[in-house]
Each structure stands twice: as C-alpha cells, then as structure tokens.
Structure 1
C-alpha cells in the first residue's frame, strides 16, 4: 500500500470516529438499535413520574383521612382524636382527656367549635372515647386497618395537632413493630405499659397524641401516643422515634366503650397484686415487693403472699414495677407462667395461671 492511500484511509477512520463522537453528544446513535434511545429516554423520565405518583398518593390519603382527624381541647391539655363512627364517637388517648368530662372539638374542615362529652377512659391502655353532643354535617368516620399486617418500611403519615397546629401532617415509615413501651406517670402520662406498639419515624410531638397514623391505603393503623425521650438530653424527645397504639388494640377497647360504656374485657394479663419496687443495700432496684394480694386472684391461688419479693416472671428478671408490667404485657389472661420470688431470704418458684387486669 502506498503512503498516499494509507493517509487517505487514516483520514476516513478519523472522520468516522469524529462523526460517532458528535452523534453521541447530540443524543443520537450510530449503528445501534433505536431501542437504546427509547430505553434511555424512558429511564430519564421514570424518576420524575414515580415521584409524581407518590405525591398523588400522599394527596389522596390526606384528602380522604384528614377530615376524620379532630383537635380536642380539654381544660388544660390539647390533643387530637379520630372520628370512630357516624354517631359522633371519637377515639383518643386517655392522657389527652385526663380527668375532664367536657371538651371542645374542632374538625379539619370547619372552624366551628363543637362540644363533646367523655364516654369512658381506660388509662391502663391509654385510650378513651368521647362523643360529640351534636353531630355536624359531613362528619366522616375513619377506616381502621389491620395492624397485624403492618411491616417495617411501610410509608406512614401522622395526622394531628402538634403544638396546637391543627390538621398537620408528617411523614415517615414503620421503624419497628411489637414494641412494649411504658409511659411515665408524670407530665400528663398515665403510667401505662402498652404492648405491640408500632414504632415510627414520623414526627410525633405534643398535640399529636390521639391522632391518626395512616398507611397509603388510607387506613388508620395506629393512634400516635408518645415519643421516646433521651435521658442524656434532659428527657427531651428523641427525634424520629415515636410510638402508636396498634389499630387492633384501639378497636378492641373502643368497641367495648361504645357498646358498654366501659371496658369489660381488657385482654391484659395480671397477677392480682398491689406492689412496689424495692432496692438492695446499694440502692439499686432489686425486685417487686407484694403489698396486697387480691383474694381469689392469680397470685392468691398460687400461694404468693404480702411481703414476698418477686424477682422473676417466666424467663424475665424482675427488678422494678415497670419490668413486671412489661413482662405481663407480653402474656394473655389464662396463660401459665413461672413466678420466682423470695420469702424470708429463701427463693421459691411457683406456676401461676394469669388472671385479667
């Protein structure tokens, strides 16, 4: 091959490379299938479309559920509630109603203040039902979901009146399920120990209590009740760690209150004792001293007596009233379990058939 022809071939190759480079910069292809172009275009468009679809889901859920979430004003406390049925019953937290009997209620779609009266409160589960004295037009009951189907990672919206900001919505996910959480009995809490709570990253602030924790199907799967506190931060709320009473528990308690005016079947296991935490010589919590035994109760039938110090329930070490409450929260009435206690310095273990609280 002569030098002139070789130079010509090199120039042609260079022109081809430059043409391909220019085609790539312009979004075109040379010698490739049009499906590459279509695929790239589809990929670039998919992200905004998915975000738009999710936003539409949020908007639909908020439009459907927020009208069922109300603000409740007691004499000194403010919280939220969820319209439970078309008869004006509203479910909320017991710590929202406190010791009050009368309340002012504001719905999401009206500035009119409605009056309501307490039906019954059940502090042991931190739930209560109030009823509107007069039904307003357009009142809409919320739909409650199956909290047993809640899974970690599901997107949730928390609706309520945090810090008095009515009809507020925050967003998060299910962080965990099956949590057993004990409330404090100071600062408005009931001191309840509640099992199977839903943990969420959605912001839960004062005023959110009693509101709605809602999935993207528009179903209430829990009642936001409290936020975790960090003792290292002086007991202030720990961001992104909130807890809600599961819908199954809410429905069980609320249905009884609506039907009977009170809770007749708590479903909560009990030993049938009055007790207090005791400390050892180093002032560390060391067990639960039995102060009083209910006649015919579970402890009485098992031979447990006042003065005994309970140090174990099943496989759980018991050091405080709270630890005993949390251990019982995972049990059901009628369950059989071992109770370990000391009497006169001697350790004993008996089998107890748990009663109902």
Structure 2
C-alpha cells in the first residue's frame, strides 16, 4: 500500500456531503399475550422513540465538539501550498505538518471560523517526524488553544472527527472511528514530501483529503488525539485515494516535538532510534532489493561501536527482514534509543551478526 500526503493546493473544488450520524435501531416485533391478548404496541412505541433520542444525543455531541474545537483550527496559506494547523498555545504558536510549510518561512493564517488573515513566520520544522511550528506575528483577541489528549489511551472503535481545510474548504469536518493504532507508515519524497517514516500512527476512517494535513483529529471529549497527515492510496486505482484509510501523528509525539521547538527552536531529543549510518538499498542478481549497504558508519555511533563498517550490507534487524532503506527506517521507527538489537549483515561472502545498542536520530 502506498501512502500520499494530504497537502497540495486544490485546483478543483468538490463539495462534500453534509455530516450525518448513522444510527441502527433494533425493531421489536408486536405480539399478543397468551392469556390476555394484549398488544405490545406501547413497548414498540417506547423503543421507536428511543432511536431518535439516541440520534439527537449523538448529534448534540458532534455539534458541541465542533463548536468547542473548530475555533482552534486554522487554514495555512503558503505560496505553493495550502494546509491546516492547530492553535497550540495563547502565544500564537500553531502546530502543523512539515510538508505543509515546505521550504517557506512566511504564511497567511485564517481561522477556520472566518476572520481576517494573520501573517505568521516559521519557528522550525522537523521533517523526520513531518511536524512544524509556526508563530502568528500578532495574536488576535480570543485566540483559543486546542486541548491535546493522551494518544496512548486511544483505542480502536473510538469515534473521531477530522477538522481542517480539505480542498480549500475551510472549517470542514468529517467523522469516523479509530480503525487501528500503532501503524508505521513511510511518506514519499515526490511532490514535496518529507520522506519521513513515522511510527505509532493512528489510523482512521474519517476522510482525509488534500488540505486536511496539519489539522485536528479530535475525540468526543473535544481533545486532539492526532494531527491528520497521510491518506492511503491504492495503486490499483492509479494512485487514487483508498477511501476510509487515513493516518494521523499521535498527540503525544506532537506535544514532544512542539514543546522542544518552542523552547529551543529545534528538536533536541527526538526519542527516535538510529543506527547512525548512511545507507543505500542494494539489489541482488535478479535486480530485487536485497539489503541496505552501509555507505558510512558514523564514528562513535551505534553501528560503528558494534563493529559495522562501510561496505557491510544489513539484511536483518532483530526479527525484521531488511531489504530496502525504507524497511530499515520502519523497523527502527518501532524501537527506542538504548534498545539492544541483533543486526545481521554480510561482509564480502560472510554473514555475520552483531549486538547493537541503538543511538538516537
């Protein structure tokens, strides 16, 4: 499955269908009492009345969350792109995706609820996790920071809403559920992508379209549980979007990165494991990917300290087969600095193993 960014400025606008809640009510069959012949119609009436009440309660929940969170969502306009962002604090910091800001440093930011655009400047981007922070040059009255939740408590089946500016339609909302957690997804480099391999992502059925990137994935408590970032594509559909499969960076990682950027102007502690090598994918005699060749092993780095050197070809990390640089990045994304893993590699014609204490990216 390929994954594409939900980023580029839309040239063609498509209107979305209104948000709707689907409610399934169980039908009760009317009958007669054996001894009295009395109809159960009053019970049916009660059950039928309960369904609209349940629907109304769910609609009320949706509307309350939208009213609470949408003022914290913004549209970000750059000269070559359009995306979304989330108000992070009352000092005017906005968190978004690195692929939304690209190489630019100045932006125009508009609240999802409307109003005049405000100029903003880049604080820093961290492409390795596809996150960035920008800051408003003037903080408007009533700026409302979003509340970021505990993404470790997010479970499959949780109802979520995605808020942002898909296809340039500012202030749009879609709904779905958390359909999986703990996904590791690689983003391409084409079309301005960062090439990041991101671990522990939240998978959702809420629609994520171009322009949604950097917005808010929120639960019914009004807490941001993730930043919508990627939409899956289906090669069988010519690279078109695979409906109902999108990915969001978990709120815990967003807070970790944003707090460091705001405090230090950069990420000082990524929490991401590394082998401390420069590598490239190598092919076998059948021109199939067969491993990652070490181009350079950083002196004093994790691989070099374990005895690996330039020219070695890594074929396995712990229980994961390594065939490409992407598969190596995905394996590392599931681990933490300081983890000790077995690395299988080929030197010349000899297959060797080394115990490596992972470094930090």
Q: What TM-score comes out, normalization by structure 1 length?
A: 0.90
Match of 1:17 in 2: none
| Cα 1:349/1:120, change in 2 over 3 Å | same
Q: Please point out which of 343, 346, 358 is paired with 1:342.
A: 346
* Pair 1:226-2:226 in alignment: no
For the pair shown, the structure with the greater C-alpha radius of gyration is: 1
Deviation at 1:33, TM superposition (A): 7.2
Provide the C-alpha distance between the structure 2 equivalents of 1:293 and 1:53, rounded to a whole number of angstroms: 59
Q: Please point out which of 156, 163, 169 is paired with 1:165.
A: 169
Number of corresponding residues: 332
Provide the C-alpha distance between the structure 2 equivalents of 1:110 and 1:298, rounded to a whole number of angstroms: 50
Provide the C-alpha distance between the structure 2 equivalents of 1:216 and 1:305, rounded to a whole number of angstroms: 51
Q: Please point out which of 46, 52, 77 is paired with 1:73.
A: 77
1:267/1:332 contact within 8 Å kept: yes
Equivalent residue of 1:111, what SS?
coil
Deviation at 1:232, TM superposition (A): 1.5
2:164/2:211 contact within 8 Å kept: yes
Provide the C-alpha distance between the structure 1 equivalents of 2:240 and 2:188, rounded to a whole number of angstroms: 13
1:1-357 alignment runs, 5 A limit: 31=36, 36-357=40-361
Higher RCO (CA 8 Å, separation ≥ 6 residues): 2
* Stretches of structure 2 lacking an aligned partner (at least 5 in a row): 1-29
1:161/1:208 contact within 8 Å kept: yes
Question: How big is each residue's C-alpha offset from its partner over 1:153-176, in whole Å with a ceiling of 9 and x where there is no partner?
Answer: 111100000111111101111110
- Give the alignment's Cα RMSD to 1 decimal: 1.7
Match of 2:20 in 1: none
Equivalent residue of 1:187, what SS?
helix
Provide the C-alpha distance between the structure 2 equivalents of 1:40 and 1:30, rounded to a whole number of angstroms: 20
**1 or 2, which has the higher helix percentage?**
1
Q: What TM-score comes out, normalization by structure 2 length?
A: 0.89
2:87/2:93 contact within 8 Å kept: yes
1:28/1:37 contact within 8 Å kept: no
Deviation at 1:111, TM superposition (A): 2.9
1:311/1:342 contact within 8 Å kept: yes
1:157/1:172 contact within 8 Å kept: yes
